[in-house]
Amino acid sequence: MALTLDEVRRVAALARLKLSEEEERLFAEQLSAILDHVRELETLDVTGVPPMTHALAEGEAVALRPDALVPGLSPEEALGNAPAREGTCFKVPRIIE
Amino acid sequence: MTTANDAALTGLSLQAASLELQAGAISSRQLTEACLARIAATDGRVGAFLAVTGERALQQADRSDRRRAAGGALGPLDGVPLAVKDLFLTRGVPTTAGSRILEGFVPPYDATAVTRLEAAGAVLLGKLNLDEFAMGSSNEHSAYRPCRNPWDLTRTPGGSSGGSAAALSARQCFGTLGTDTGGSIRLPASFCGVVGLKPTYGRVSRYGVIAFASSLDQPGPLGRTTWDVAALLGAIAGPDPHDLTCAARPADDYLAALEGGARGLRIGVPREWFGGGLQPEVEARVREALTTYQRLGATLVEISLPHSRYGIAAYYLIATAEASANLARYDGVRFGLRAPGVRALQELYSESREQGFGAEPKRRIMLGTYALSAGYHDAYYLRAQKVRTLIRRDFDAAFGRCDVVAGPVAPGPAFKLGERTGDPLQMYLADIFTITCNLAALPGLSVPCGLARGLPVGLQLVGRPFDEATLLKAARALERELGPAPVPAALEAAP
């Protein structure tokens, strides 16, 4: 199944990836090959089979903790890796013109 | 300068090092200094470490020595030098996930597994090399440096936890932590001749482990012996209120069960794992191991896992779909790389991600985004989840007739650096025998079972949910027969 360059660009936009023309061509080719491989799933009859939506078996999960206040990160810790900040906020380029 | 005495120390198993500490024959400082000297002497060639935290390690060692002198030693890990994959958050110590997008990131908290190792008194030597975001089977997708196999420096150590296996094989430390999403502990353990265990999904907390595919990721230990791995698992396993997908049941006493032997064990041998691309020398070592088990009183049962062949396809839809969601957080806003000179928000996201991610995360984000996008979700992701149910049912049926499933870890021994980087699908196929275990959320282990063309081969054992104790016991029975895994000679030759 060949993925077109337009489809690659559409998916890259959804994923917020800016690809070079070289990457677009490479991914079109490589993702087409991978999608060809995964198509073998279509040969299986999965009628009536429930999807496995949880990896942890039922009954193994931890009970929810009491809804009590517990200490979290301080604002300084939370902002410690911010590429840009102003006061106790993360700073980003203007959003609203 | 590595002395003969240092070499004797770094060659010990974790168990032997721990006994020496308990006997007062050596100090944690001596052990830690010997490991740091070994890292300094060998890691320029191996590349197992992304960061060595020597000063911090020596402080931890001194604290351990003082505890012991005061009669307050904590247990078998107290004072033992270990290291963790650079996917585990370490408070105050940079954590990169092997990616440029997290260069310089300093976590404000520790992963639960790290907290537990430190609470057990372990000394942490540093952060180990990996494929970027744990995506890869050769460690070649590390954005920082390649990691090489100590058995043959022209070959890969396997991935994604390549550094975690190579550091043990190179005698740089006594135990490590890795993570396994599709084989990332077992494959490098097999390639480097060490023991590696992927626990049952939910056995070890994922809190503070940078997420790749949340329904498949599982942290676990690697060591040079089964005892070492059992001790490490005992320290890190168990419920964690910070991770709601971590099971509520307490950890077992893995060391107590270790010497139980193989008599009476029913070993399932899936016919689907012995065909196709399996190399004859690897098959020979695996068959020999099975014969050894028979001699030890185990029974071999032929079983079928008919949906195994769909594992890779289901995996690369589920893992990439989850990865595309998990990696959405790297957007240049709160932490990590921010592209400079950008004036609009959308451009900030896409430029930062373009500059920060390497080719493999981009490829997987693209595939996962495609598989989840409107019109394709049911055909790809939902169908893959149904196939996941079928794969799990295969194992459930098999475990009615056997106690463990045994087979190869990988079709061949370690491959050459550069051999598969141009063909992602070929790289993915290295995980063909390990991936179903993750999809079925079961525990799996790799234990050395000999050499093929001078390179280590691992036997894979897969167990019932939360039955790591039986896996370790079975692996121990084989290890006792085969003797200690040989030491790779490549590193001892002149550089």
Contact B353 A73 (CB under 8 A): no
Tell if the CB–CB gap between B324 and A44 is shorter than 8 Å.
Answer: no
Rounded-to-integer distance, Cα B449 and Cα B470, Å: 18
Which of A22, A56, A74 is the best substitution to test chain B (most B C-beta atoms within 10 A)?
A56
Burial-class residue B187 by CB neighbours within 10 Å (0-12, 13-18, 19+).
buried
B369 interface with A at CB cutoff 8 Å = yes
Q: What are the E-state strand segments in B66-162?
A: 81-85, 123-128
Burial of B319 by CB count in 10 Å (0-12 exposed, 13-18 middle, 19+ buried)? Answer: buried
Domain that holds residue B112: 4-272+283-305+397-492
Determine, yes or no, domain membership for B329.
Answer: no
Q: What is the pLDDT of residues B416-461, one digit of tens each?
A: 999 998 888 788 888 999 999 999 999 999 999 999 999 999 999 9
Residues of A in contact with B369 (CB under 8 A): 11, 14-15
The alpha-helical segments, DSSP class H, found in B89-175 are 112-119, 162-169
Across the interface, whether the CB atoms of B354 and A18 are under 8 A apart is answered yes
Q: What is the pLDDT of residues B143-162, one digit of tens each?
A: 999 999 999 999 999 999 99
pLDDT of res. B421: 86
A2 — contact with chain B (CB < 8 Å)?
no
Look at B385 and A53 and tell me if their CB atoms are within 8 Å.
yes
Does B362 reside within a domain?
A: no
Q: Which of B373, B390, B465 sits opposite A49 (nearest CB)?
A: B390
d(CA B415, CA B200): 28
C-alpha–C-alpha distance, residues B242 and A70, integer Å: 12
> B200, B366, B388: best mutation site toward chain A, by most A Cβ within 10 Å?
B366
Helix-then-strand count for chain B, H and E? 16, 11
| Confidence at residue B495, expressed as pLDDT on a 0 to 100 scale | 47
Q: Is residue B460 part of a domain?
A: yes
Q: What is the pLDDT of residue B493?
A: 61
Mean pLDDT, chain B, integer:
95
Q: Which residues of B are catalytic?
A: 85, 160, 184
Whether A93 and chain B come into contact, CB under 8 Å, resolves to yes
CB B125 within 8 A of CB B52: yes
Nearest one of B223, B319, B204, B187 to B12, comparing CA atoms? B223
| Residue-level pLDDT at B1 | 45
From chain A, the residues in CB contact with B441 under 8 A are: 55-57
Q: What is the mean pLDDT of residues A38-49?
A: 94
Q: Which residue of B has its CA nearest to A74?
A: B108
Chain A contact for B351 (CB, 8 A cutoff): yes
Confidence of residue A64 (pLDDT cuts 50, 70, 90): confident
Indicate the domain borders of chain A: 1-45
pLDDT at B92 over 90: yes
* Number of structural domains found in chain B: 1
pLDDT at B95 over 80: yes
Span B317-340, average pLDDT: 97
Check: CATH 3.30.420.40 for A1-45? no
pLDDT of residue B4: 65
> Which chain B residues are closer than 8 Å to A95 by Cβ?
345
Q: Tell me the pLDDT band of B61, cut-offs 50, 70 and 90.
A: very high
Whether B477 maps to a domain, the answer reads yes
User: What would the mean pLDDT of B244-269 be, rounded to a whole number?
Assistant: 96
Q: Is A83 on the interface with B (CB under 8 A)?
A: yes
Closest CA to B355 of B103, B88, B136: B103
* pLDDT of amino acid B214: 97
Contact A38 B313 (CB under 8 A): yes
Q: Does B244 touch chain A (CB under 8 A)?
A: yes
Q: What is the mean pLDDT of residues B249-254?
A: 96
Contact between A57 and B338 using a beta-carbon 8 Å cutoff = no
CB contact A44 to B (< 8 Å)? yes
DSSP codes, A26-56: HHHHHHHHHHHHHGGGGGS--TTPPP---SS
Does B325 touch chain A if contact means CB atoms closer than 8 Å?
A: no
Residue B39 pLDDT more than 90? yes
Instruction: Assess if residue B446 is contained within a domain.
Output: yes
Asked whether residue B452 is domain-assigned, the answer is: yes
The whole-angstrom distance between A11's CA and the closest CA on chain B is: 6
Query: Which tens digit of pLDDT belongs to each residue from B184-232?
Result: 999 999 999 999 999 999 999 999 999 999 999 999 999 999 999 999 9
Of A46, A49, A61, nearest to B244 by CB-CB distance is A61
Q: What percent of chain A has pLDDT over 90?
A: 74
Question: DSSP characters for B373-415?
Answer: STTTTIIIIIHHHHHHHHHHHHHHHHTTT-SEEEEESSSSSPP
The band of A59, judged by pLDDT with boundaries at 50, 70 and 90, is confident
Q: Is the reported ipTM for this assembly greater than 0.85?
A: yes
Max Cα separation, chain A?
57
Q: Report the gap between the CA of B55 and the closest CA in chain A (Å).
A: 23
Residue-level pLDDT at A95: 83
Mean pLDDT of B97-105: 97
CB contact (8 A) between residue A62 and residue B334? no
Closest CA of chain B from A16, distance in Å: 5
Say which CATH number the domain at B52 has: 3.90.1300.10
Inspect the interface and report whether the beta carbons of B244 and A77 lie closer than 8 Å.
no
In whole angstroms, give the CA distance from residue B18 to residue B68.
12
Contact B245 A55 (CB under 8 A): yes
User: Who has greater pLDDT, A15 or B491?
Assistant: A15
Angle of helix B226-236 relative to helix B112-119, nearest 10 degrees, comes to 110
| Contact B317/A at CB under 8 A | yes
| Chain A CB within 8 Å of residue B316 CB | yes
Set of chain B residues whose Cβ sits within 8 Å of the Cβ of A8:
366
